[in-house]
Amino acid sequence: MPYEVIIIGGSFAGLSAAMQLARARRRILVIDAGEPRNRFAKASHGFLGQDGAAPAQIMREGLRQLSAYPSVDFVHGHAVWASGEFDRFEVTLADGAAYAARRLVLAHGVADTLPEVPGLAERWGRTVVHCPFCHGYEFGDRPLGVLATGPLGAHQAEMLPDWGPTTLFTQGLFVPEPEVKGRLDRRGVTVETTPVAALLGDAPGLEAVRLADGRVLPLAALFTAPQTAPNGGFAEALGCAFEDGPTGAYIAADGRQETNVPGVFAAGDAARAMHNATLASASGVMAGVGAYQSLSLG
């Protein structure tokens, strides 16, 4: 007998979708590989009621709570393929197991492509981060940097002086337009055109960056915007439409998180241009409610 809903991804968005469906007494399956995007972060911040808690702790508690609902099943494994159509979807795992459902929720997150700078990857999620609201407070009043991956870096740099003195490293990718440069000047942002060549200090800590001309600039944290792409290729295989975001394409969804493919819903970072734990959870709630409405009301 097929499930009513399969949710691919068991992080903030997926578990939030599962909770709504569990409370609606729907028979659901959550498939998760245990590799959430936020696994590198020591703590989650700005998430009401969870501020300072480790992401893994939040997810463990979510799983504990969901386990109390008898209509919810969990599978730990890598989903590798999704196919089908309205009322007849199938998800295949790497071990060959296959599961059927009437509806799908894609909450599998995104993959980050980080800038290729020596010393950066091993600090990702700790002292190399993407969101000042999530991570800026802990570095308050210390020197901060923005490693640009494109013009979006100027927007990041405009925000950061509220947390600490800020340097924008353009990496030779762009020259700020006069209007943008004027805003950066008013915010006290230093624009550095010489590229960052390496990050220094005992990882995951950060003490400074070395520039291509040999100069060393002290930094407590480096903000950047990696390129992102939805994990797994499930949305493409199902025929879902995409929209272009500032860091990459994301799955297009309507107000109840349904994609252009009837019966397929998407939530979390894979279905949003802006990435944030609270927003991921909220979109998961809406996807769960949307899937319920689709099952009950058509």
* Residue carrying the six token digits 């068991």: 10
Mean pLDDT of the chain: 95
Q: What is the pLDDT of residue 27?
A: 98
Q: What is the pLDDT of residues 169-210, one digit of tens each?
A: 999 999 999 999 999 999 999 999 999 999 999 999 999 999
% the chain with pLDDT above 70: 99
Residue 235 reports pLDDT greater than 90: yes
- The pLDDT of residue 298 is above 70: no
> Is 222's pLDDT higher than 80?
yes
What does the pLDDT read at residue 46?
83
Please compute the mean of the pLDDT values over residues 24-51 and round it to a whole number.
90
255-286 confidence digits (pLDDT tens):
999 999 999 999 999 999 989 899 999 999 99
pLDDT recorded at residue 81: 95
Of all residues in the chain, the percent with pLDDT exceeding 90 is 88
Domain ranges of the chain: 3-112+227-297, 115-224
Q: What is the pLDDT of residue 96?
A: 97
Do 3-112+227-297 and 115-224 come out as alike in CATH topology? yes
- How confident is the model at residue 194, as a pLDDT? 97
Amino acid at 10: G
Sign of the C-alpha dihedral computed for residues 137, 131, 267 and 67 taken in this order: negative
The pTM of this model reads 0.94
120-149 tens-digit pLDDT: 999 999 999 999 998 999 999 999 999 999
Residue 37 pLDDT: 84
Strands 28-32 and 3-8: parallel
What is d(CA 41, CA 219) in angstroms, rounded to the nearest whole number?
19
Output the furthest CA–CA distance in the chain (Å, rounded). Answer: 65
Output the pLDDT for position 152.
Answer: 87
**Range of weakest confidence among 44-53, 121-130, 150-159, 242-251:** 44-53
pLDDT of residue 12 exceeding 70: yes
In this prediction, residue 202 carries a pLDDT of 97
- Identify the CATH class of 115-224: alpha beta
Compute the average pLDDT of residues 96-104. 98
Q: What's the pLDDT score for residue 227?
A: 94
d(CA 222, CA 121): 12
Average the pLDDT over 108-117 and give the result: 95
Those residues whose C-beta lies under 8 Å from the C-beta of residue 30, and which sit 6 or more positions away, are: 6, 7, 10, 14, 15, 18, 66, 72, 73, 74, 75
Report whether pLDDT(254) > 80: yes
Separation CA 21–CA 28 (nearest Å): 7
Confidence class for position 36, pLDDT limits 50, 70, 90: confident
Q: Is the pLDDT of residue 18 over 80?
A: yes
Per the CB < 8 A criterion, the answer to whether 228 and 72 are in contact is no
For CA atoms 208, 40, 163, 137, the dihedral sign is negative
- Check: CATH 3.30.70.420 for 3-112+227-297? no
